Chains A and B, each alone.
Chain A
Amino acid sequence: MADTAVTTSAEHAAEAPSPAKRPLFSPFNIIAALILLATAPFAILRFTGGLGAVTALDHTNPWGIWIGFDLLTGVALAAGGYVTSAAFYIFGKEEYHSAVRPAILTGFLGYGLVVFALLFDVGRPWRLPYPFFVSQGVTSVMFEVGACVALYLTVLFLEFSPAAMEWLGLKKVRWIVVKLTILLTILGVLLSTLHQSSLGAMYLLAPSKLHPLWYSTYLPVYFFVSSIAAGLSMIIFESTMAHRYFSHLMDQRHKDERNKIALGFGRAAALVLAAYSSIKIFGIAADNNWAYLLTGYGLWYLVELVGFVMAPAFLFAVGVRDRNFGLIRVCAIWTVLGIVLNRFNVSLIAFNWHLPSAERYFPALGEFAISIFIVTLGIVVYRFIVTRMPILYHHPDYHD
C-alpha cells in the first residue's frame, strides 16, 4: 500500500502539545514495574553470589549475551545518534530535523545502558575507570573501545542536554552547549567510527576461535559499515513506534517530516547494505574461503548475508522506488534483526565453533533476566524523557 501523503508546505505550525496527564498505575507502568521486580533479584544475586551464580559463563566461554547482546548489539543499534546528527548538521539535510533529537536520545540511552550492563558483566565494576586513570593498557583494542565509548557517552550527554535544559528553563547554559554542536557532532562521528570498528577489531586477536567466514582482516570495517545501516534502520523503526504511541506529543513538523525521513533513510540504508554485502564477499575472496560456504556454518553465513543483508538491501530499494512506506518499515526491522544476528554470530555462534557441543555456551536464566532488566529500565527512562522534554516537538521558547 503506497502511502503518498507527504506534506510540502513550507510552514510547520510550531505547536507545543502538553504531555497528557498520566495515572501512576497505568498499564505500562504496572507491567514495567512487574518486569523490574521479577528480574531485580538476579541483579542482586550477581553481586552476592558472583557471576557463576547467575550466568552460564565458563573459562572457555568467558563472554555471553551480556557482551554479545547488551554490548555489541546495543552499541550497533545506538548508532542512529551519530548517523542522524551527521546527516543533519554536517551534510546539511534540513528535512531530517525532527529525527535528530529522538536519535540523540536513543544514542544516549543506548550507550548508557551499555555501560550499565558492563557493571554486571565485569568482575570488579568499580575498577572500570582504571584503564584511564590507573594503568593504561594501550596495546589493547579494548582500551581504545573503552576510551571512545566513555568520551562518546559524554558527547551524547552534551548533545542531549539542551532538551533537558529547555525542560528546566536553563537558557544561559543551553546557549553555551548549542554553540558546541558542530564540534560535538564531528567528535561524535569520529569516536563512533573508532569504537564501532574496534568492537570488531577485538575479535582479530582470536583467529583460532572464530569461524573463518566471520573472521576477516576486514572485521573492523564490517562492524563500522553495518553500524551505519543499523543506525539508519533503528531510526526508521523508532519513528514508526513513536508515531504509533506518542503521536499526541508530536508537533506538525515532526508529523510532516516522517515520510521524508523514512524515504531518505531507506535510500541510504539500501546503498549502505549493498556496499556492505559486496565488501563481505570481497573478504571471502581475499582469504579464499569459498569452500566454507558449502558447510553447515557456510549455510548459516549465507542466511545472514543473503537473508538479512542482501534481501533488505534490495527491498529497501523497492520500497523507496514505489514509495511503499510499509515495506520500508518492514525492511528497517529486518535489517536490525540482521545486525543482531551478525553480532551474535561473531560473539557466540561462530565463536568456539570448533568445540564439541558439550563445551559450547548457552545463556542461563539469570543472564536473560538481567538483560531484560536492563532493557526494561531503558524503555522506562525513554518514556519518561519523551513525555516530558521537547524531543518529539519543538519548544516554542527556543528558536535555534
Chain B
Amino acid sequence: MSISRRKFLGWVGAAGIAATAATKSRAAHAEFEGYPESYAVLHDSTLCIGCRSCERACNEVNDLPKPATPFDDLSVLDKKRRTDAASYTVVNKYGQVPGENRPVFRKDQCNHCLEPACASSCFVGAFTKTPEGAVIWDESVCVGCRYCLIACPFNIPAYEYDEPLTPRVMKCTMCHPRIEQGLLPGCVEACPMEALTFGARSDLLLIARERIRKYPDRYVNHIYGEREMGGTSWLYITGRKPSEVGLREDLGTTPAPELTSGALLMVPIVIGMWPALLGGIYKISQRKDRIAREQLVAAVKAQKEQSDKEREEAVKATKASAQQQQEKAIEKAVKKALEEAAESGDSKEEK
C-alpha cells in the first residue's frame, strides 16, 4: 500500500504535535508554584526576647490544656523543648555568645510546607495545604498510624498517646479559622516585639530580603524556609546560622512528595507487567511438562512397538526354520522311500 508524500508528512506532523502536547500536559515538578496569594509568617528571631507570649496566646486561642508551669515561667527555656500534645508552639533559647548582650531565641512550630511531607504520607488524606497557606489536619478521618510524625523533617506533629480511644495529631494550624475571618494568627497578634509578621508569602520574602540587605551585620544572609523541602510558609531570618538555632541545614530542597514518587511510579509498571511475565512462565513450564509427558508416552509407545516387532520377527524366524526342517524331513523320507522301493524292485528282478 503506497501513501502519498503529503499524507506521510501529515502523519509525522500530527505525531510531533501529539508528542509536544503530551510533554506540555505532563507537568514537570518545577512547574508547581503553590497557591497564588498564599499567606505565610516571617519570624525574625533577632527581635525575639523569649517572653513566651506567643505560647500563651496559642494555648488560649486553641483551647489547649493549661501546662504545669505557667507561661511567664522562663526557666523552662533552660532546656530544649519540642512541640507536644498540648503545645503547638515552643520558644527555645540558644545560648549566649561572647560579644552579644543577650541569648538568641527562636519560636518553633509547624512550618506549613508548600509540599507538606505529612500530606504526602497520610494514607487517608487527612492533611490539606489550604489556599491560604495553612496546612490543616482533619480529625474525622485520622486512623492514628503516625506516619506523619515519621515523615515530618522538622519533627513537629505530636500525638495524644494518653488518649485511649480518640487520640489526635496535634500541630499548629496557622490559626486557619482566624485567617479565614480576616484575623491574625494568635501568636502573631500577641508578640510584643513584632518578631512575627503575617502576610503574603511573596511579600514576606521581599521584606526579609530587604531587612537582610539593610542590616547585613545583624542577619545571616539566608531566609530559612525559602527553598528548604521545596519551600515553607513559615520563614526565618536569624542572626545566627540556622543550625545554631535548631534549624537543620541538611534537609535539601527536594519537596517531600518527590521523595517517594519514584517508588510509586513503579507500582503500575509492576501491576501491568507481572501478570504477563508470570502467566508466561506458567505457560512455558506447563508446555515443558506436557512435552515431557508426551515424550514419555511416545517413548513408551515406541519401545512397545519395537519389542512387538522383534517378537513378530522372532516368531516368523521360528516358523520359517520349523517349516524348513519339516520340508527337509519330508524330502529325506521321500528319498528314503524311493531308495527302498528301488532296492525291493532290484531284488524282485533277480529271482
Contacts and interface: CB of A to CB of B under 8 A. Distances in A.
A140 B263 contact: no
Contacts of B302: none
B260 A190 contact: no
Contact of A198 (B155, B262, B263, B279): B263
B338 interface: no
B121 A205 contact: yes
B267 interface: yes
Given A90-B285, A124-B167, A127-B143, A146 B263 contact: no
Interface stretch (B63-71, B157-165, B215-223): B157-165
B260 A59 contact: no
Contact of B259 (A123, A135, A189, A204): A204
Nearest to B125: A137
A53 interface: yes
Given A91-B281, A205-B120, A205-B121, A123 B146 contact: yes
A190 B270 CA distance: 7
Interface residues of B, number: 61
A67 B147 CA distance: 11
A193 B270 contact: yes
B150 A122 contact: no
A300 to B, nearest CB: 21
Contact of A144 (B248, B267, B286): B267
Given A62-B150, A123-B144, A124-B165, A205 B123 contact: no
B155 A194 contact: no
B282 A144 contact: no
A209 B147 CA distance: 13
A137 B143 CA distance: 12
A295 B271 CA distance: 40
B97 interface: no
Contacts of B281: 90-91
Interface stretch (B23-31, B249-257, B320-328): B249-257
B164 A59 contact: no
B82 A131 contact: no
Interface stretch (A44-52, A273-281, A323-331, A390-398): A44-52
A57 interface: yes
B142 A124 contact: yes
Interface residues of A, number: 61
A268 interface: no
A100 B185 CA distance: 62
A15 interface: no
B67 to A, nearest CB: 15
A141 B165 contact: no
B157 A59 contact: yes
A206 interface: yes
Contacts of A60: 82, 149, 155
Interface of A: 46-53, 55, 57-60, 62-63, 86, 89-92, 121-125, 127-128, 130-131, 134-144, 146, 182, 185-186, 189-190, 193-194, 197-198, 201-202, 204-209, 217, 219-220
17 contacts: A49-B164, A52-B162, A59-B149, A59-B157, A63-B146, A92-B286, A123-B146, A135-B125, A135-B141, A136-B125, A141-B260, A142-B145, A190-B274, A194-B270, A205-B117, A208-B153, A208-B251
